[in-house]
A and B are shown apart, each in its own frame.
Chain A
Amino acid sequence: MEIAIHLRVLIGVLCFALVGIIIELIRQNRLKEHYAIIWLCTALSIFIFGIWPDSLNLISRIVQLHHLTTLFLVSFIFLLAIVLHFTLVISQLFDRNRRLTQEVAWLRFEMEQLRQTGEEQV
């Protein structure tokens, strides 16, 4: 499959922009390195499709679909995986947040008790 040169340049620019944004976000402490890995992998896979379009053709032949459909399929599965990953993260955060809140309530109760007994002794 031949991809027009200007399209490949566009893909290249897109990858470098993505990598640049990710690095900047990490630098500003707005993105955890752990999650940056996913996005760097995304950039890498786009880059591979850009410089080596035949990889897409290979997949197209395996799943026996038109290469554009394959592209959509691959992106869709990829996005699905990312969303699933995020849901996992949110679930874990939810559990931890819940336990943390309960512990805070418990500690606050204990603190009030201590303060009261302290005042009674004075």
Chain B
Amino acid sequence: MGEILSKKTLIIIPAYNEEGSVARVIENIRRHVPEADILVVNDGSRDRTAREARESGAMVMTLPYNMGIGSAVQSGFLFAKEKGYHFAVQVDGDGQHPPSEITKLLSALDNGVDLAIGSRFVQQTEYRPTLTRSLGIKIFSFLVSLIVGKKIYDTTSGFRAASRKAVLLLTETYPHDYPEVEALITLHRNGMRFVEIPVEMNSRQAGKSSIGAKNAVYYMLKVTLAIFVAIIKRRQR
């Protein structure tokens, strides 16, 4: 654990219209990982997200228009790359991801893996997805596990910690929307190792999920296609 403290960690919070929760998320993170720097990537919010975040003492990088979660997170990776951070952790701005579990993810990175996924499904947890969402999650889990060659339960979790090596790769290639599943395949294809760490997720404090019923079909199609494309895509240098 002492090792972790000596390494520079950046917490990336992608936030789109999260004025109701972002301040609390930042406070929570600071309480649990006081040594980490916090960057809010304000993804073209039209509310007071940026101001709330700044007043809570986080660094705020504002994107000029709503670019989508993938591009927002990638902007955070670029920041981490430029500023020489060793680890980058993604924590959503809606309060779903428990900051108390961040150190668990970081310990995993310290043990030499390139990506630690905060997983809802390795153990029995409180989280109960809807039936259709549960089906989608199962399908992705099946496909990714097949490709990666080991069981991955929660492929869609956005609660993740990445090593510098993984960050450098993902600054080059990261999908602009629904990036989580595809990124796993990209990492695998480039020889990076990842682990799932069981965490207890909260339900959302405010705002609403980025995946509505209308987008669910697009989500399934896009991600499934992306999985197969990621398999045949050329490796990054």
Contact = CB atoms under 8 A, between A and B. Distances in A.
A30 B81 CA distance: 39
Interface string A103-122: 01110110000000000000
B65 A102 contact: no
A105 B176 contact: no
B63 A102 contact: yes
Contacts of A109: 59-62, 79
Contact of A101 (B59, B60, B67, B82): B67
B68 to A, nearest CB: 9
Given A106-B79, A106-B82, A101 B62 contact: no
A101 B78 contact: no
B129 interface: no
Nearest to B79: A106
A102 B176 CA distance: 12
Contacts of B60: 109
A106 B71 CA distance: 13
- Interface size for chain B: under 10, 10 to 19, 20 to 34, or 35 or more residues? 10 to 19
Interface in A20-60: none
B61 A105 contact: yes
Interface residues of A, number: 8
Contacts of A101: 63-65, 67, 71
Given A98-B176, A109-B59, A104 B75 contact: no
User: A101, A102, A106, A109: which has the most chain B beta carbons within 10 Å?
Assistant: A102
A104 B176 CA distance: 17
A122 to B, nearest CB: 21
Contacts of B64: 101, 104-105
A106 B61 contact: yes
Contacts of B75: 102, 105-106
B78 A102 contact: yes
B119 interface: no
Interface in B34-87: 41, 59-65, 67, 71, 74-75, 78-79, 82
Nearest to B71: A98
Interface of A: 98, 101-102, 104-106, 108-109
Interface of B: 41, 59-65, 67, 71, 74-75, 78-79, 82, 176
* 3 cross-chain pairs, A with B, having the tightest CB-CB distances, nearest first: A109-B61, A102-B75, A105-B63
Given A101-B63, A105-B62, A106-B61, 12 more contacts: A98-B71, A98-B176, A101-B64, A101-B67, A101-B71, A102-B71, A102-B75, A102-B78, A104-B64, A105-B63, A109-B59, A109-B61
